[in-house]
Amino acid sequence: MSGFNGGRHVLPEPEVPGGVVTALGIDEQSEVFTPVRPTAPPDGAPHVVVVVLDDLGFGSSSAFGGPCRMPTAERLAADGLRYSRFHVTALCSPTRQALMTGRNHHSVGMGGTTEMATSAPGYTGFRPRSAATMARLLQANGYSTAAFGKWHQTPPSEISPVGPFDRWPTGEGFDHFYGFMACEMNHWYPLLYEGTTPVEPARRPGYHLSEDLVDHALDWVRTQRTMTPERPFFTYLAFGASHAPLHVAPEWPERYRGRFDDGWDRERERTLARQKELGVVPEAAELAPWAEGVPHWDELGDDQRALAARFMETFAGFTEHADTQLGRFVAALEELGELDDTLFVYLLGDNGASGEGGLEGTLVEHRLGHGIVDDPAEMIGRIDTMGGPESYPIAPVGWALAMNTPYQWTKQVASHFGGTRDGLVVHWPRGIADHGGVRDQFHHVIDLLPTVLDCAGLPHPTSVDGVTQQPIEGVSMRYTFDAPDAPDRRRTQYFEVCGNRGIYHEGWTAVTRHGTPWQMVPTGPRSFRDDVWELYDTRTDWSQAHDLAGRHPEKLAALRELFLIEAAKYQVFPLDDRVTERENPGLAGRLDLLAGRRSVTYHGRTRRLIEETTPNVKNTSHTVVADIDVPDTADGSDAEGVIVAQGGRFGGWALYCLGGRACYVYNYFGMRLHTLRAAQPMAPGRHEVRMDFCYDGGGLGRGGTAVLSVDGVKVAHGTVEATIPYYFSFDETLDVGVDLGTPVSDDYPAVGNEFGGRVHTVRIDLNDEAETIADGGRYRRVMTSQ
């Protein structure tokens, strides 16, 4: 293929011998040696920047008519292209894996999020080596590569201090990584990694994760341009915004105060009007039907409306803040003189806006994930904490529907465009002449990798790191850059997430919604064969507003058959609508790091263990035994600090010392804290602190009795009425000798809570089999955040 500077079909390229030795001594060497050099990039290859925002939705950004002011997106769109029919997978990990590999998410084992992986081929969570990432391909072709922010593509069993690390960012083609591995992160108290090393950023006044990520990206790019200016760079910047928790300083939501008092119904109308003005939907586009069971604005009470408006103000402020930070990065590229030569891909959402906040929204997301609905009257009393470190909020589903205007449904619903269609901005002044243009060709996230390769002058490789590559399933979008009316080159695309599924073919869509993201506990299992299919002709019905299934049954039948063909081709079967079960590695059938071990002993400086890599103390009796040394202080002060903690402010447990007294706390979603404290402080010297939890049994999330002992003597006991059944947190960890992140108890500070003595070991024993509760032979399906 012309312009590809040699083969580059086998990566890395074979090493070239540096010369022939012709003499005993260098003074007699007749042949000049050639220095060993890394593979050079193609002549004129642009820099590449890929930016991903989270849980945004097509109708959120001002660049696509939405209410969230995004000046950077608007600027890049004004000098680049807006894509009005760009699609993702409806869920975080699958979209990111598809973006990185150019293959459909089931083809690379990511049919669900990493936390929902199973042993089925399309759902393992393990990227096959036959699908090398965008980063690895660019790296092997001479690019400097770095990733910042959310990753969410590594199997949870491998996110531990012992790895393996080949599926971490630095093992998948990135020279440098600074960010977080999970689906979400506390933006005030993040637990991050630099490469594969855990780091906790300095808690300077005004710290915020979005700002920190951009600071590190700026530092890396500036250093790269100084040290290796001859090499192009690839920067992947994936913000935690606008995924829950909606964390942002109060001055940002304040910019929107009163802006959403008219409610989500009116906002949909306003957004659609702006979208038509911008030309990102046609003049004939209609609002798709409202989701059944979601109240309209005029059906809410005063407290509900006040809360909902504040949720949206916080979401909008969070989103604008992230986009503004990106503006600093764009300004730096301009200052360096590199912006015009950078292929800048700005994906405004990895799925539709999230409906996982339920009908009311919540100040603590994890409660909703367990079916606990916050009382609006209680939330009103804490409304001013929203967005701050004492909150972990997610907005109600009404706003998600509005942020997906003009389409139906939300994140997780892969059947409808509300879950799968997001705005895309492509900016490349050197390669795009039509500044401010709109492109209506149908495309999918798997098309980004071939587009980047095309713009860089690189072929699709046949072999990478000795592994034959499976075909890239995306198509390059470069043909659209200078041809706004070019016919679509993607004419067919299947969709599936959580059993919600659909098929697009030459303008028609056949779709079926299997589940409802905000329905906490469905009434019972539902057969996929009972799902009702809908049919839309998007050539005349842009927003899937009019179901034609009854009028064109033969067309629907043909598309349903096509879905079966595509699903079989790309490893979609067997369909799997489980959520809760799939978060339990034993039930899901995926790799379990602990492999059934009932007892684990940790040394005194163990840190940053996610729940998947620790004994599961939920729904079972268990014991925690700590071997500690209490210091003999010169001033006679008592021992303080954390011995071991798991989780944080919004759910978890901890053993700690307060005034020298042994203490245990169980934090139930931040709603109730059950605290045991010894009456007397421990004397200096070695002690055994033990907590025995006797689980009541009889189901999930039941209560139990906790007994605290010191050196074999019971010092406190108490009843815990209810426990957390499924997960403590997606962002907090188990830590020995300290509580990183947010504190489980306010008895000790968030920062500086290390145990003042020495923790030799902490042992966790599981004392009986974990309880399960059947519901028609299955776990109850509860909503979770992905």
When mean pLDDT is compared across 385-389, 438-442, 576-580, the lowest value belongs to 576-580
Q: What is the pLDDT of residue 580?
A: 67
Q: What is the pLDDT of residue 776?
A: 34
CA distances from 566 to 94, 143, 470, 538, 562 (A): 17, 35, 16, 20, 6
Residue 777 has pLDDT above 60, yes or no: no
Residue 2 has pLDDT above 50, yes or no: no
Residue-range domain boundaries for the chain:
47-486, 500-583, 594-766
Residue 772 has pLDDT above 70, yes or no: no
Burial bucket for residue 293 (CB in 10 Å: 0-12, 13-18, 19+)? exposed
Q: Which residues contact 538 (CB under 8 A, 6 or more apart)?
A: 504, 507, 508, 509, 544
pLDDT bracket for residue 585 (50, 70, 90): low
Q: Are 208 and 187 in contact (CB under 8 A)?
A: yes
Q: What is the mean pLDDT of residues 46-59?
A: 98
Which CATH fold topology does 47-486 show? Alkaline Phosphatase, subunit A (3.40.720)
Q: What is the mean pLDDT of residues 315-337?
A: 98
Q: What is the pLDDT of residue 584?
A: 65
Residue 589 has pLDDT above 90, yes or no: no
Residue 234 has pLDDT above 60, yes or no: yes
Burial bucket for residue 444 (CB in 10 Å: 0-12, 13-18, 19+)? buried
Q: What is the pLDDT of residue 446?
A: 99
Residue 521 has pLDDT above 90, yes or no: no
CA dihedral of 484, 488, 489, 494, whole degrees rounded to 10:
140
Place of tokens 């998947």: 612
Q: Are 593 and 613 in contact (CB under 8 A)?
A: yes
- pLDDT tens by residue, 244-289: 999 999 999 999 999 999 999 999 999 999 999 999 999 999 999 9
Q: How many alpha carbons fall within 13 Å on the CB side of residue 375?
A: 4
The residue ranges of DSSP E strands in 41-191, in sequence order, are 47-52, 81-83, 86-87, 144-150, 176-180
Instruction: Give the class (CATH, top level) of 594-766.
Output: mainly beta
- pLDDT tens by residue, 742-771: 999 999 999 999 999 999 999 999 997 655
pLDDT bracket for residue 349 (50, 70, 90): very high
Q: What is the pLDDT of residue 167?
A: 97
Residue 420 has pLDDT above 70, yes or no: yes
Residue 775 has pLDDT above 60, yes or no: no
pLDDT bracket for residue 779 (50, 70, 90): very low
Q: Which residues contact 739 (CB under 8 A, 6 or more apart)?
A: 642, 645, 648, 654, 656, 748, 753
Q: What is the pLDDT of residue 786?
A: 42
Residue 4 has pLDDT above 90, yes or no: no
Domain 500-583 has CATH 3.30.1120.10: yes
- pLDDT tens by residue, 360-379: 999 999 998 888 999 999 99
Q: What is the pLDDT of residue 5?
A: 43
Mean pLDDT of the chain: 94
Q: What is the mean pLDDT of residues 215-240?
A: 98
pLDDT bracket for residue 1 (50, 70, 90): very low
pLDDT bracket for residue 524 (50, 70, 90): low
Which pair of tokens denotes residue 307? 């809360």
Q: What is the pLDDT of residue 7?
A: 83
pLDDT bracket for residue 135 (50, 70, 90): very high
- By DSSP bridging, strand 144-150 and strand 176-180 are parallel
Q: What is the pLDDT of residue 774?
A: 35
pLDDT bracket for residue 113 (50, 70, 90): very high
Q: What is the pLDDT of residue 35?
A: 84
pLDDT bracket for residue 785 (50, 70, 90): very low
Q: What is the pLDDT of residue 659?
A: 95
Proportion of the chain above pLDDT 90, given as a percent:
88
Q: What is the pLDDT of residue 478?
A: 98
Residue 780 has pLDDT above 70, yes or no: no
